[in-house]
Structure 1
Amino acid sequence: MPERQEWYVSWGPYVLLGLATLISLLTEVQVMRNGRPELLVALALVALVLQLCWAKIRRVVSTPGAASQAYYAVRTVLAFVLTYLNPFFAIYAILGYFDSGAWLRPRAIKAGLLVNALTMAGSQSGGLPPSSLMQWTAFGGLFVLNTGLLLLFVRLDAEKEENARAKAATIAELEQANARLKQAHEENAGLQAQLLEQAREAGISDERRRLAAEIHDTIAQSLAGIVTQLQAAVDSEDPAEGRRHVERAADLARHGLGEARRSVQDLGPSALEHDALPVALRKVVEEWEAGSGVRAEFAVTGEVEPLHGEIEATLLRIAQESLANAGRHAQARRVGVTLSYMDDEVSVDVRDDGRGFDPGRVTSSSTSGFGLGGMRARVERVAGAFEVESEPGLGTAVSARVPLVRHV
């Protein structure tokens, strides 16, 4: 119970009873019906004793019951009698309007309010009983007015309580909905983690197939060529011809060594071992610019957050392969790489002003390297989206968007 309301419940009856008694005694000559002020004082003392007793009882009474209803009934009767003796005791009787809901059960509230309306109408019409036809008319009209106002207030109070209950029910439903959403979010997070784990395992399998294909297509062929050239050098009777075969074998060995190093470097994103994704990407762009001689710019937008390792690896690989494609095919003069952090996703965009191409005429990548098809598959494994926009003579834009899954 609020502090102000508690003060009213505790001290309001004493204040109103004292004020009513004081005014009634000061006006006893004008309004006293029986000329016996001692009776008025005695009944006021009875009311005071009732309030003192109830102050002790109400400490253990929290809901309307027999004790509270008895207190309300005795107080209402005392207020009626006192008002009958002196109309100014309506000041005390008005208590019944404000605490009927606190001390009466719902079925008894209207009856208690009607008795209070009768008391108030008698006071407002000049006292009970009415002594003339005009006073009776005034009493009847005031009683109807008081009763109507009380019924209106009761209805408004009931509507207020109903609205409060409806609001409480709505809040409870919202809390349940929020709890369900939270549970669904946690389940989705778990499913996303599973998808990422599956993507990681699929990535490992793809890397194994890619490495096997590259070994078959490059290193194994280089070794076979070396064997052929060395055998030819051994079988050749011409020293000059033999030297040419040996030099050819050395060239094949150097080429195979380069291919082996490239394959090993592509096994995993070693750039992420010591640097965060933005730093690693910036270094990749700078190294590519230095090696290709093409102007390259790098930018980061949004608030940088630590991402799941598979997400970072995917974005780094897409940027590396896009830059490699730009260097091999685009003949660009300028390349831009942008890493963007958004509310629920992160993207990497690689744009160049090169010669462009028709994406509809590009076939899936071969077994060696990634290609556009390989990049698309890598992004889709982590529930992302891969887009390529290009036209002949208008450059190329590669975009990879993936869910923003934070590192845990």
Structure 2
Amino acid sequence: MSSATTTAEQWWDRFFRYGPYGLLALSTAVAAVTRGLVMTDAGVRAALVLVPAVLALHLAWTRYQDRVPKAPGWAAPAYFTVRTLLAFALSWCNPFFSIYAVLGYFDAGRVLGPRTMRAGLLATAVIMAGAQSGSGLPPATLMNWVVFGIVLAVHATLTMVFAQIGNREAEQARTQTDTITALESANARLEQALAENAGLHAQLLVQAREAGVADERGRLAAEIHDTIAQGLTGIIAQLQAATSTQDTDPALAREHLRRAAGLARHSLGEARRSVQNLLPSALEHDDLPGALEKTVLGWSERTGVRADFTVTGTAEPLHDEVGATLLRIAEEALANAARHARATRAGVTLSYMDDEVSLDVRDDGRGFDPHALPARRSTGGFGLGGMRARAERIAGTVEVETGPGLGTAVCARVPLVPHH
């Protein structure tokens, strides 16, 4: 096993050991700051009892794992069930305790068996939907119930994706284990004559397995970030707007709900395509210029920021991977502009040249200091790192020009590979 894989496993082991304490501390701090806004006196008193109970549960579970490394089959599901019930009660007291409840998305596959993992993910989805719908649990009005139902549907889709990822990785592990076992059996018969070659061959097989699993995880993680995560961000923004206007302007609130429902349907379709490794839905019926134009117009409508789209050069049908890469980079750049730039105007230009295609996304926002960004991780990350990683997969590049108060320009250049 490579040192990178070992380091990743050690990191996840530390996260599952100490992460619950950090999430509990963070959610408790946020709940304490907002207690006067969203918590009743009874909720405060209940939280004062529940938070120590959750802390005691984690301490007991940590000590139990240290004493009994091979715990009985019922121990881990019992721990997950009790923890989820406590997280549900805390989120009832203050929706910001959902920061702690999100832990269920990460360790359901690790703690629960294949048959009960979906139930654990669904329980976590209910808690997160209650918190993100802005009404808490239980919803107080009919509008709150509608908002809760939409957000729950989105989170249920998210649980389907997480479960599918787990199933895919398990199937890959089983197939690869069978393959490696068969190859090791064949190599054993030649061990005396080809000992050195057999060792090298086994090492290459392990590296290929790790590379395949890492690539699949990276692809799915990037797809989730670029589709579901951005869809959830848009849905939450629309639902918050609907909640804030439901009393003063019911017609506007219904319009926000309509947009949220549309985003939810789009995110569901993207989730299914991500699992099946298909093209983005925008490229199913349009070429790249058409898909980019619709993306820019939709982004402008959701954010209220003026956005222009321009095509230069002679448009040509591109290879599916090239078109999907440029579309995802444009979506990510626009999402970054909406989240961070505070721009009043944006522009997207697609340029066809002799042997390459370039995509430029500009905004007049506040910009940032590129030298102050965190170092890029080896996994590629998301945001600017994710855009660069996508372009590099097809031998392209991404450059960023920006500065505090100077706006931001993202330029992606990839080879012009025609569609065959």
Shared fold, TM over 0.5: no
Q: Which TM-score applies when normalising by structure 1? A: 0.43
Q: Which has the larger radius of gyration?
A: 1
The TM-score, its normalising length taken from structure 2, stands at 0.42
